[in-house]
Amino acid sequence: MIQHSRVVQWLVTGLVVTVTLFVVLFLGWLRVHHLSQGFLEQEAQRQRAALERIVTTAEETLTGATPWVGRTCGEVNSSLQATGSLSPYFRSIWLVSHGKMYCSSVIRSNDAIDMPLPAELVPLLTGTREMFVAGTPYVRNAPALALFVPTSATDGVLGFIDGVYLTESLHSVKTNDLAWTAMTIGRVSLTSEGPKLESVGVATRGAQVTLDSDHFSTSLAGSSALTRSLIAGQAPVFLAFGGIIALLLGILTFRHLGPAQSMRRKIALGIKRNEFKVYYQPVMELATGRCAGAEALMRWHHPDAGLVRPDAFIPLAESNGLIIELTRALLKQIRNDVARGALPQGFHIAINLAERHLRDTTIVHDIERLYGSLNATYPMIAEITERYVIRDTAAARNVMAELQRHGIETSLDDFGAENNSIGYLKRYDFNYLKIDKEFLPVTEADTVTRNICDSIIHLAERLDMTIVAEGVENEMQANYLRARNVTYAQGYLFARPIAFDDLVQFAIAHPLRGLTPVNPMPATVAPMPPRMAG
């Protein structure tokens, strides 16, 4: 018997459940990350838009003051002061000429100031248009954003946006869901944590989203509260989903690795590898001792388990549909054996059909395709056991009619073994009736069994059916059957299931041997009970 490890079944099922839960939870984490990134993207866009409004508004104000560049401070000082006072965000506005700051919005004077441009602001004259500064000419140690709108290579309007406005804007965007926000120009950043300039490497370390604009870039990072809230919202969904998927996959895996499914795969592989072999149990003509035919039985030569009993694989093959392929393998081997022409003409070959074969005419086409040309010389008999419950009576009648139309006679096997015997005789037309060994008398004194068997024989005679007795094991049973004119018998009294070459020798040795039964046991005899369906 082929053994299946329950330990492996449970271990693999547990592994599948664990991996499934891990994958689902990982997908849940990716979902949380995706939602977090989406939220941070929206917040970063909102922050960038707020900062751009400040910078753009200031730049427009400075652009409006460019006509005053080059004019004397006395001419434009009042207008410059008014602009600096009425425009939001500015700490001060300066007019620059020939690289010098000469007029300011915070100093009322008719005379030019003549203040050299601080060294840190010189890059503004070489292409840079904005930069963070640690302080302004009259307000030290207070960060500001310097904006420069040039009118020539050395002239233009310089404005300082107070860092307080930028910090407040950054802080207003920050919520409990954000750890920090930052505005970066070049290598310097201003953060939501306070009006203090920091290097970009320090200020934006751990940034999860960074967006660029024409003047600056904005960065931010989510807080642990955001992650917790997203996990709290997604965890029930993914845990429930993961649990259901893991349970379903676990059940499917457990069933897939169960003994039945494992055996099914092994049977399918065995068919592919030609591990199934046909043995033949001779059927004797009782009146003459002639070997008139044989029942084809299938045995599994498993490479590891050895010779596997039919009752270990036939029911499984029947329940999962593999019986169709198994029967085709049987028919191919019978064809190859019988096609040698070594058997006497008229020698019949019986095969067992399952209930699955009676649902459509596939078996008819298979027999016709694989054995049809041999049927005239070596007639085939299809045995249908009454142990099966035939689900579709109309289809079964059609299959039997097609079999007989193609010259294949039918036999009711195991008669009396179940409760379907009389019903089957009423519904279907059979040529043969096989008496189950259970109804053969064991001793001369077995009166009850003898009377039942007599009734079965009488019934078959009245229905004009040829009788085959199976399971004949002693001479008393053989004499009993001969006395009642039973035509055929098979059983250990005559021979066990044997390989085809031994069947040929057996048939040659028993063309007509009177009434003396023999019980040969060739070397290739399969030590198996004879009644296992092929």
The pLDDT assigned to 512 comes to 62
The pLDDT assigned to 421 comes to 67
Whether 518 has a pLDDT exceeding 90, the answer reads no
The model's pLDDT over 40-51, given as tens digits with 9 standing for 90+, comes to 999 999 999 999
CATH architecture of 259-509: Alpha-Beta Barrel (3.20)
Residue (of 442, 448, 452, 451) closest to 415 by Cα position: 452
- Which strand (E) or helix (H) includes residue 128? none
The pLDDT assigned to 514 comes to 39
Q: According to DSSP H, which parts of 163-258 are helical?
A: 163-173, 200-203, 224-256
Q: What is the mean pLDDT of residues 243-260?
A: 76
Map residue 331 onto helix, strand or coil: helix
Give the Cβ contact number of residue 170 at 10 Å.
Answer: 25
Contact residues for 467 (Cβ-Cβ < 8 A; gap 6+): 432, 433, 434, 435, 457, 460, 461, 486, 487, 488
What amino acid occupies position 85? S
The pLDDT assigned to 418 comes to 64
The model's pLDDT over 125-170, given as tens digits with 9 standing for 90+, comes to 998 899 999 999 889 889 999 999 999 999 999 999 999 999 998 8
CATH tag, 1-257: 3.30.450.20
The pLDDT assigned to 534 comes to 40
Which of 136 and 389 is assigned the larger pLDDT?
A: 136
The model carries a pTM of 0.57
CA distance 63 to 484: 126
Q: Where are the domains of the chain?
A: 1-257, 259-509
